[in-house]
Structure 1
Amino acid sequence: MINNYMIKVCGLIDEKNYLDLRKYPIDYFGFIFYDKSPRYILNTPNHSFIKKIKNKVAVFVNEKIDRVFNIIETYNFSCVQLHGNESDDYSMKIKKKGIKVIKSYLIKTNNDFKNINMNTESFDYYLFDYKSDNFGGSGKTFDWEILNNKVLDKPFFLSGGISLDNINNINMIKDNEKLYGLDLNSKFEKSPGLKDIKKISKLFNLNI
Protein backbone atom coordinates (compact mmCIF):
# COMPACT_ATOMS: atom_id res chain seq x y z
CA MET A 1 0.00 0.00 0.00
CA ILE A 2 1.08 3.57 -0.65
CA ASN A 3 0.46 4.22 3.03
CA ASN A 4 3.61 2.26 3.85
CA TYR A 5 5.51 5.43 2.94
CA MET A 6 5.42 9.00 4.13
CA ILE A 7 3.89 11.21 1.43
CA LYS A 8 5.24 14.72 0.89
CA VAL A 9 3.49 17.01 -1.58
CA CYS A 10 5.81 19.83 -2.51
CA GLY A 11 5.43 23.22 -4.16
CA LEU A 12 1.98 24.33 -3.04
CA ILE A 13 0.91 27.94 -3.63
CA ASP A 14 -2.86 28.03 -3.10
CA GLU A 15 -4.88 27.79 0.12
CA LYS A 16 -7.98 26.20 -1.42
CA ASN A 17 -5.80 23.64 -3.15
CA TYR A 18 -4.17 22.88 0.21
CA LEU A 19 -7.57 22.46 1.89
CA ASP A 20 -8.61 20.00 -0.83
CA LEU A 21 -5.38 18.06 -0.34
CA ARG A 22 -5.88 17.93 3.40
CA LYS A 23 -8.70 15.44 2.86
CA TYR A 24 -6.05 12.85 2.03
CA PRO A 25 -3.48 11.26 4.38
CA ILE A 26 -0.58 13.46 3.27
CA ASP A 27 2.21 13.59 5.83
CA TYR A 28 4.11 16.71 4.73
CA PHE A 29 3.31 19.83 2.71
CA GLY A 30 6.29 21.54 1.10
CA PHE A 31 6.55 25.29 0.42
CA ILE A 32 9.31 26.64 -1.77
CA PHE A 33 11.24 29.74 -0.70
CA TYR A 34 13.39 30.01 -3.82
CA ASP A 35 12.58 33.03 -5.93
CA LYS A 36 13.62 31.42 -9.23
CA SER A 37 11.00 28.70 -8.83
CA PRO A 38 7.56 29.02 -10.48
CA ARG A 39 6.27 27.66 -7.16
CA TYR A 40 7.83 30.40 -5.04
CA ILE A 41 5.29 30.75 -2.24
CA LEU A 42 6.02 34.41 -1.50
CA ASN A 43 4.81 35.31 -5.00
CA THR A 44 1.36 34.29 -3.78
CA PRO A 45 -0.41 37.38 -2.36
CA ASN A 46 -2.31 35.44 0.32
CA HIS A 47 0.40 33.11 1.56
CA SER A 48 -0.16 33.70 5.27
CA PHE A 49 -2.32 30.54 5.41
CA ILE A 50 0.86 28.48 5.71
CA LYS A 51 1.33 29.71 9.30
CA LYS A 52 -1.59 27.51 10.38
CA ILE A 53 -0.22 24.31 8.86
CA LYS A 54 1.62 22.03 11.27
CA ASN A 55 3.16 19.33 9.07
CA LYS A 56 4.99 21.62 6.65
CA VAL A 57 8.47 21.84 5.16
CA ALA A 58 10.25 25.01 4.01
CA VAL A 59 12.40 24.41 0.93
CA PHE A 60 15.52 26.55 0.39
CA VAL A 61 18.22 26.69 -2.28
CA ASN A 62 21.53 28.23 -1.16
CA GLU A 63 19.69 30.84 0.90
CA LYS A 64 21.38 33.16 3.37
CA ILE A 65 21.04 31.48 6.72
CA ASP A 66 19.69 34.59 8.44
CA ARG A 67 16.78 34.58 6.02
CA VAL A 68 16.21 30.88 6.65
CA PHE A 69 15.89 31.55 10.38
CA ASN A 70 13.60 34.51 9.71
CA ILE A 71 11.25 32.40 7.60
CA ILE A 72 11.29 29.55 10.12
CA GLU A 73 10.24 31.96 12.85
CA THR A 74 7.73 33.95 10.79
CA TYR A 75 5.83 30.93 9.48
CA ASN A 76 6.40 28.47 12.33
CA PHE A 77 8.35 25.80 10.47
CA SER A 78 9.80 22.82 12.30
CA CYS A 79 11.36 21.19 9.24
CA VAL A 80 13.39 22.50 6.30
CA GLN A 81 14.65 21.00 3.07
CA LEU A 82 18.02 22.17 1.77
CA HIS A 83 18.00 21.74 -1.99
CA GLY A 84 21.26 23.46 -2.94
CA ASN A 85 24.94 23.11 -2.13
CA GLU A 86 24.64 23.90 1.57
CA SER A 87 27.54 22.78 3.76
CA ASP A 88 27.45 20.54 6.83
CA ASP A 89 28.18 23.57 8.99
CA TYR A 90 25.23 25.45 7.48
CA SER A 91 22.91 22.50 8.03
CA MET A 92 24.12 21.93 11.58
CA LYS A 93 23.35 25.52 12.54
CA ILE A 94 19.74 24.88 11.60
CA LYS A 95 19.55 21.50 13.28
CA LYS A 96 20.94 22.91 16.53
CA LYS A 97 17.83 25.11 16.68
CA GLY A 98 15.72 21.97 16.98
CA ILE A 99 14.66 22.02 13.33
CA LYS A 100 14.48 18.79 11.33
CA VAL A 101 16.61 18.95 8.17
CA ILE A 102 16.10 17.14 4.86
CA LYS A 103 19.20 17.34 2.65
CA SER A 104 18.70 16.95 -1.09
CA TYR A 105 21.18 15.28 -3.39
CA LEU A 106 20.81 15.40 -7.17
CA ILE A 107 21.31 12.08 -8.94
CA LYS A 108 21.61 11.07 -12.58
CA THR A 109 24.06 8.17 -12.51
CA ASN A 110 25.72 5.97 -9.94
CA ASN A 111 28.76 8.27 -9.98
CA ASP A 112 26.73 11.05 -8.36
CA PHE A 113 26.71 9.10 -5.11
CA LYS A 114 30.40 9.90 -4.72
CA ASN A 115 29.35 13.43 -3.75
CA ILE A 116 27.02 12.31 -0.99
CA ASN A 117 28.08 12.99 2.57
CA MET A 118 27.53 9.79 4.54
CA ASN A 119 27.65 9.40 8.31
CA THR A 120 27.03 13.02 9.16
CA GLU A 121 24.90 14.32 12.00
CA SER A 122 24.09 17.58 10.24
CA PHE A 123 20.74 16.48 8.82
CA ASP A 124 17.97 13.95 9.49
CA TYR A 125 16.87 12.69 6.07
CA TYR A 126 18.28 12.35 2.58
CA LEU A 127 16.21 13.33 -0.43
CA PHE A 128 17.29 11.97 -3.81
CA ASP A 129 16.12 13.99 -6.82
CA TYR A 130 16.90 13.96 -10.53
CA LYS A 131 20.00 15.95 -11.46
CA SER A 132 19.03 18.69 -13.89
CA ASP A 133 20.25 22.18 -14.79
CA ASN A 134 17.68 23.64 -12.41
CA PHE A 135 16.96 22.90 -8.75
CA GLY A 136 14.00 20.52 -8.77
CA GLY A 137 10.70 20.40 -10.61
CA SER A 138 12.19 18.80 -13.74
CA GLY A 139 9.62 16.02 -13.90
CA LYS A 140 12.40 13.55 -14.74
CA THR A 141 13.50 10.42 -12.93
CA PHE A 142 16.87 8.79 -12.39
CA ASP A 143 17.38 5.03 -12.31
CA TRP A 144 15.88 4.23 -8.92
CA GLU A 145 17.32 0.74 -8.98
CA ILE A 146 20.78 2.10 -8.20
CA LEU A 147 19.51 2.80 -4.68
CA ASN A 148 19.25 -0.92 -4.01
CA ASN A 149 22.90 -1.44 -3.13
CA LYS A 150 23.37 1.80 -1.23
CA VAL A 151 24.03 1.50 2.49
CA LEU A 152 22.66 4.67 4.05
CA ASP A 153 22.84 5.85 7.64
CA LYS A 154 19.54 7.73 7.48
CA PRO A 155 16.07 7.36 5.96
CA PHE A 156 15.50 8.92 2.56
CA PHE A 157 12.78 10.52 0.47
CA LEU A 158 12.57 9.54 -3.20
CA SER A 159 11.91 12.48 -5.52
CA GLY A 160 12.08 13.41 -9.18
CA GLY A 161 9.32 12.73 -11.68
CA ILE A 162 7.25 10.36 -9.53
CA SER A 163 3.93 9.86 -11.32
CA LEU A 164 0.96 7.51 -11.46
CA ASP A 165 2.59 5.88 -14.48
CA ASN A 166 5.86 4.97 -12.78
CA ILE A 167 5.10 4.77 -9.08
CA ASN A 168 4.90 0.98 -9.21
CA ASN A 169 8.61 1.06 -10.02
CA ILE A 170 9.38 1.83 -6.39
CA ASN A 171 9.17 -1.94 -6.00
CA MET A 172 12.66 -1.86 -7.53
CA ILE A 173 13.97 -0.48 -4.26
CA LYS A 174 11.60 -2.04 -1.75
CA ASP A 175 14.55 -3.97 -0.31
CA ASN A 176 16.19 -0.74 0.77
CA GLU A 177 14.79 -0.43 4.27
CA LYS A 178 15.82 3.23 4.42
CA LEU A 179 13.14 4.28 1.90
CA TYR A 180 11.03 6.53 4.10
CA GLY A 181 8.91 8.73 1.89
CA LEU A 182 7.85 9.83 -1.58
CA ASP A 183 8.16 13.45 -2.64
CA LEU A 184 5.49 14.45 -5.18
CA ASN A 185 5.51 17.59 -7.27
CA SER A 186 5.17 18.33 -10.99
CA LYS A 187 3.59 15.06 -12.13
CA PHE A 188 0.68 15.65 -9.74
CA GLU A 189 -0.10 19.18 -10.97
CA LYS A 190 -2.49 20.94 -13.30
CA SER A 191 -0.08 23.88 -13.47
CA PRO A 192 2.99 24.88 -11.41
CA GLY A 193 1.93 24.91 -7.77
CA LEU A 194 -1.67 23.77 -8.32
CA LYS A 195 -1.98 20.09 -7.48
CA ASP A 196 -4.31 17.78 -9.39
CA ILE A 197 -6.74 16.43 -6.80
CA LYS A 198 -7.95 13.63 -9.07
CA LYS A 199 -4.41 12.32 -9.45
CA ILE A 200 -3.82 12.55 -5.70
CA SER A 201 -7.04 10.61 -5.11
CA LYS A 202 -5.92 7.89 -7.53
CA LEU A 203 -2.59 7.70 -5.75
CA PHE A 204 -4.17 6.79 -2.44
CA ASN A 205 -6.24 4.07 -4.08
CA LEU A 206 -3.20 2.30 -5.49
CA ASN A 207 -1.99 -1.02 -4.17
CA ILE A 208 1.77 -1.12 -4.72
Structure 2
Amino acid sequence: MKIKICGLSTEETMQAALDAGADMVGLVFFPKSPRHVPLSTACRLADMARGKAEIVALTVNMDLDGLSRINELVNPDWFQFHGEETPEACAAAKVMFQKKIMKAVPVSERADLEQAQFYAIVADMILFDAKPPKGSDLPGGNGVSYDWTLLKDLDLAKPFMLSGGLDASNVAEAIEKSGTTAVDVSSGVEREKGVKDCDLIRAFVAAARGATVAGE
Protein backbone atom coordinates (compact mmCIF):
# COMPACT_ATOMS: atom_id res chain seq x y z
CA MET A 1 0.00 0.00 0.00
CA LYS A 2 1.37 3.37 -1.05
CA ILE A 3 0.15 6.33 0.98
CA LYS A 4 0.48 9.86 -0.40
CA ILE A 5 -0.07 13.03 1.59
CA CYS A 6 -0.59 15.86 -0.88
CA GLY A 7 -0.54 19.63 -0.51
CA LEU A 8 2.04 19.86 2.26
CA SER A 9 3.24 23.41 2.78
CA THR A 10 5.03 23.65 6.14
CA GLU A 11 8.05 21.96 7.69
CA GLU A 12 5.96 20.83 10.67
CA THR A 13 3.39 18.99 8.57
CA MET A 14 6.03 17.58 6.23
CA GLN A 15 7.84 16.14 9.25
CA ALA A 16 4.57 14.70 10.56
CA ALA A 17 3.95 12.97 7.22
CA LEU A 18 7.46 11.55 7.16
CA ASP A 19 7.33 10.41 10.79
CA ALA A 20 3.95 8.76 10.17
CA GLY A 21 5.46 6.75 7.34
CA ALA A 22 3.95 8.33 4.24
CA ASP A 23 5.41 6.81 1.08
CA MET A 24 4.83 9.87 -1.09
CA VAL A 25 4.57 13.58 -0.31
CA GLY A 26 2.96 16.06 -2.70
CA LEU A 27 3.90 19.69 -3.30
CA VAL A 28 1.37 21.81 -5.18
CA PHE A 29 2.48 24.31 -7.82
CA PHE A 30 -0.83 25.93 -8.74
CA PRO A 31 -1.35 29.55 -7.64
CA LYS A 32 -5.15 29.22 -7.42
CA SER A 33 -4.81 26.48 -4.80
CA PRO A 34 -4.67 27.29 -1.06
CA ARG A 35 -1.94 24.61 -0.93
CA HIS A 36 0.32 26.30 -3.48
CA VAL A 37 3.95 26.61 -2.39
CA PRO A 38 6.56 28.99 -3.79
CA LEU A 39 9.68 27.37 -5.20
CA SER A 40 11.84 28.48 -2.27
CA THR A 41 9.52 26.72 0.20
CA ALA A 42 9.20 23.69 -2.04
CA CYS A 43 12.97 23.28 -2.15
CA ARG A 44 13.21 23.23 1.65
CA LEU A 45 10.36 20.75 1.98
CA ALA A 46 11.76 18.52 -0.76
CA ASP A 47 15.13 18.45 0.96
CA MET A 48 13.43 17.25 4.15
CA ALA A 49 11.75 14.39 2.30
CA ARG A 50 14.53 13.31 -0.02
CA GLY A 51 15.52 9.72 0.61
CA LYS A 52 12.63 9.23 3.06
CA ALA A 53 9.58 9.51 0.79
CA GLU A 54 8.98 10.00 -2.92
CA ILE A 55 8.51 13.66 -3.82
CA VAL A 56 5.59 14.49 -6.11
CA ALA A 57 5.29 17.85 -7.88
CA LEU A 58 1.64 18.57 -8.72
CA THR A 59 1.02 20.95 -11.60
CA VAL A 60 -2.02 22.01 -13.62
CA ASN A 61 -1.61 22.71 -17.34
CA MET A 62 1.89 24.09 -16.76
CA ASP A 63 4.15 24.87 -19.71
CA LEU A 64 7.50 23.17 -20.23
CA ASP A 65 9.45 26.17 -18.97
CA GLY A 66 7.64 26.02 -15.62
CA LEU A 67 8.08 22.26 -15.36
CA SER A 68 11.76 22.61 -16.21
CA ARG A 69 12.28 25.11 -13.40
CA ILE A 70 10.59 22.80 -10.88
CA ASN A 71 12.61 19.87 -12.16
CA GLU A 72 15.87 21.77 -11.82
CA LEU A 73 15.29 23.35 -8.41
CA VAL A 74 13.04 20.87 -6.58
CA ASN A 75 14.15 17.67 -8.35
CA PRO A 76 10.96 15.69 -7.69
CA ASP A 77 10.67 11.94 -8.17
CA TRP A 78 7.29 12.35 -9.86
CA PHE A 79 5.36 14.93 -11.82
CA GLN A 80 1.62 14.75 -11.16
CA PHE A 81 -0.43 16.33 -13.94
CA HIS A 82 -3.81 17.37 -12.59
CA GLY A 83 -5.17 19.41 -15.46
CA GLU A 84 -6.14 18.78 -19.07
CA GLU A 85 -2.70 17.66 -20.17
CA THR A 86 -2.80 15.35 -23.19
CA PRO A 87 -1.15 11.92 -23.30
CA GLU A 88 1.34 13.44 -25.75
CA ALA A 89 2.25 16.20 -23.26
CA CYS A 90 2.72 13.61 -20.52
CA ALA A 91 4.98 11.57 -22.78
CA ALA A 92 7.03 14.62 -23.73
CA ALA A 93 7.57 15.58 -20.08
CA LYS A 94 8.56 12.02 -19.19
CA VAL A 95 11.21 11.94 -21.89
CA MET A 96 12.47 15.48 -21.27
CA PHE A 97 12.76 15.28 -17.49
CA GLN A 98 13.33 11.55 -17.01
CA LYS A 99 10.86 11.48 -14.12
CA LYS A 100 7.91 9.25 -13.36
CA ILE A 101 4.53 10.62 -14.43
CA MET A 102 1.23 10.41 -12.57
CA LYS A 103 -1.88 11.59 -14.41
CA ALA A 104 -5.08 12.54 -12.60
CA VAL A 105 -8.34 11.40 -14.20
CA PRO A 106 -11.59 12.93 -12.85
CA VAL A 107 -14.35 10.43 -12.12
CA SER A 108 -18.06 10.58 -11.42
CA GLU A 109 -19.36 7.62 -13.46
CA ARG A 110 -18.03 4.49 -15.14
CA ALA A 111 -17.71 6.13 -18.57
CA ASP A 112 -15.08 8.49 -17.12
CA LEU A 113 -12.69 5.57 -16.66
CA GLU A 114 -12.27 5.16 -20.41
CA GLN A 115 -9.89 8.08 -20.81
CA ALA A 116 -7.52 6.46 -18.31
CA GLN A 117 -6.65 3.86 -20.93
CA PHE A 118 -5.08 6.53 -23.14
CA TYR A 119 -2.95 7.90 -20.31
CA ALA A 120 -1.96 4.45 -19.06
CA ILE A 121 0.14 4.02 -22.18
CA VAL A 122 2.54 6.79 -21.12
CA ALA A 123 1.95 7.44 -17.39
CA ASP A 124 3.54 5.36 -14.64
CA MET A 125 0.45 5.68 -12.44
CA ILE A 126 -3.13 6.90 -12.85
CA LEU A 127 -4.74 8.87 -10.03
CA PHE A 128 -8.53 8.66 -9.99
CA ASP A 129 -9.93 11.77 -8.33
CA ALA A 130 -13.50 12.99 -7.96
CA LYS A 131 -14.76 15.47 -10.52
CA PRO A 132 -14.74 18.95 -8.97
CA PRO A 133 -18.06 20.45 -7.86
CA LYS A 134 -19.75 22.82 -10.30
CA GLY A 135 -18.20 26.25 -10.07
CA SER A 136 -14.96 25.10 -8.43
CA ASP A 137 -11.76 26.44 -9.98
CA LEU A 138 -9.69 23.70 -8.33
CA PRO A 139 -9.32 20.39 -10.20
CA GLY A 140 -8.62 18.52 -6.94
CA GLY A 141 -8.51 18.87 -3.17
CA ASN A 142 -12.23 19.61 -3.00
CA GLY A 143 -13.10 16.96 -0.41
CA VAL A 144 -15.69 15.28 -2.64
CA SER A 145 -15.96 11.56 -3.31
CA TYR A 146 -17.44 9.14 -5.84
CA ASP A 147 -18.45 5.49 -6.10
CA TRP A 148 -15.25 3.61 -5.22
CA THR A 149 -16.65 0.32 -6.51
CA LEU A 150 -16.21 1.68 -10.06
CA LEU A 151 -12.51 0.89 -9.74
CA LYS A 152 -12.93 -2.70 -8.53
CA ASP A 153 -11.25 -5.20 -10.87
CA LEU A 154 -10.22 -2.40 -13.23
CA ASP A 155 -7.94 -3.73 -16.00
CA LEU A 156 -5.56 -0.85 -16.60
CA ALA A 157 -2.11 -2.45 -17.05
CA LYS A 158 -0.71 0.31 -14.80
CA PRO A 159 -1.10 0.86 -11.06
CA PHE A 160 -3.68 3.37 -9.95
CA MET A 161 -4.11 5.58 -6.90
CA LEU A 162 -7.43 6.45 -5.27
CA SER A 163 -8.12 10.05 -4.31
CA GLY A 164 -11.12 12.23 -3.55
CA GLY A 165 -12.89 12.75 -0.25
CA LEU A 166 -10.70 10.34 1.72
CA ASP A 167 -10.00 10.73 5.44
CA ALA A 168 -9.12 8.51 8.38
CA SER A 169 -12.76 7.50 8.88
CA ASN A 170 -13.38 6.14 5.37
CA VAL A 171 -10.02 5.15 3.86
CA ALA A 172 -10.33 1.50 4.97
CA GLU A 173 -13.74 1.25 3.30
CA ALA A 174 -12.39 2.92 0.16
CA ILE A 175 -9.51 0.45 -0.05
CA GLU A 176 -11.85 -2.50 0.37
CA LYS A 177 -14.42 -1.29 -2.20
CA SER A 178 -11.94 -0.17 -4.86
CA GLY A 179 -9.24 -2.80 -4.51
CA THR A 180 -6.63 -0.05 -4.77
CA THR A 181 -3.04 -0.45 -3.63
CA ALA A 182 -2.43 3.29 -3.29
CA VAL A 183 -4.33 6.16 -1.66
CA ASP A 184 -3.93 9.92 -1.75
CA VAL A 185 -5.27 12.51 0.69
CA SER A 186 -5.21 16.29 0.88
CA SER A 187 -8.30 18.04 2.28
CA GLY A 188 -9.06 15.01 4.47
CA VAL A 189 -6.08 15.81 6.70
CA GLU A 190 -6.79 19.53 7.03
CA ARG A 191 -8.29 21.46 9.94
CA GLU A 192 -9.25 24.21 7.51
CA LYS A 193 -8.84 24.63 3.77
CA GLY A 194 -5.17 24.47 2.90
CA VAL A 195 -3.99 24.00 6.50
CA LYS A 196 -2.77 20.47 7.26
CA ASP A 197 -3.17 18.97 10.74
CA CYS A 198 -0.40 16.75 12.11
CA ASP A 199 -2.79 14.58 14.15
CA LEU A 200 -5.05 14.03 11.14
CA ILE A 201 -2.05 13.05 9.01
CA ARG A 202 -0.98 10.47 11.58
CA ALA A 203 -4.53 9.13 11.89
CA PHE A 204 -4.91 8.78 8.13
CA VAL A 205 -1.65 6.88 7.65
CA ALA A 206 -2.49 4.57 10.57
CA ALA A 207 -5.98 3.89 9.18
CA ALA A 208 -4.67 3.13 5.70
CA ARG A 209 -1.96 0.82 7.07
CA GLY A 210 -4.52 -0.89 9.29
CA ALA A 211 -6.78 -1.52 6.32
CA THR A 212 -3.91 -3.14 4.48
CA VAL A 213 -3.22 -5.52 7.33
CA ALA A 214 -6.89 -6.33 7.77
CA GLY A 215 -7.25 -7.17 4.09
CA GLU A 216 -4.32 -9.58 3.94
Q: TM-score range by the shorter chain?
A: 0.7 to 0.9
| Aligned amino acid, residue 177 of structure 2 | M
Structure 1 residue 200, shift from structure 2 partner: 2.5
| 1:182 match: secondary structure | strand
Contact 2:42 2:74 in 1 (8 A): no
TM-score (norm 1): 0.88
Task: Count residues in correspondence.
Answer: 199
1:15 to 11, 22, 41: 11
Per the alignment, residue 26 of structure 1 pairs with 22
| Aligned amino acid, residue 171 of structure 2 | I
Per the alignment, residue 142 of structure 1 pairs with 146
Contact 1:56 1:77 in 2 (8 A): yes
| Aligned amino acid, residue 166 of structure 1 | N
Aligned runs of 1:32-181 on 2, under 5 Å? 32-42=28-38, 46-52=41-47, 53-54=49-50, 55-96=54-95, 97-118=97-118, 120-132=120-132, 133=136, 134-169=138-173, 170-174=175-179, 179-181=180-182
Indicate the RMSD between aligned Cα atoms, in angstroms: 1.9
Structure 1 residue 118, shift from structure 2 partner: 3.8
Unaligned 5+ segments in structure 2 are: 212-216
Identity of aligned residues (%): 29
| 1:8 match: secondary structure | strand
| 2:68 match: secondary structure | helix
Structure 1 residue 195, shift from structure 2 partner: 2.0
Task: Judging by fraction of residues, say which structure has more helix.
Answer: 2
Q: Which moved more, 1:33-42 or 1:194-203?
A: 194-203
Please list the CA deviations of residues 53-112 of structure 1 after superposition, one character each: whole Å capped at 9, or x if unmatched: 322100011111221111111111121100011112211112113200001000011121
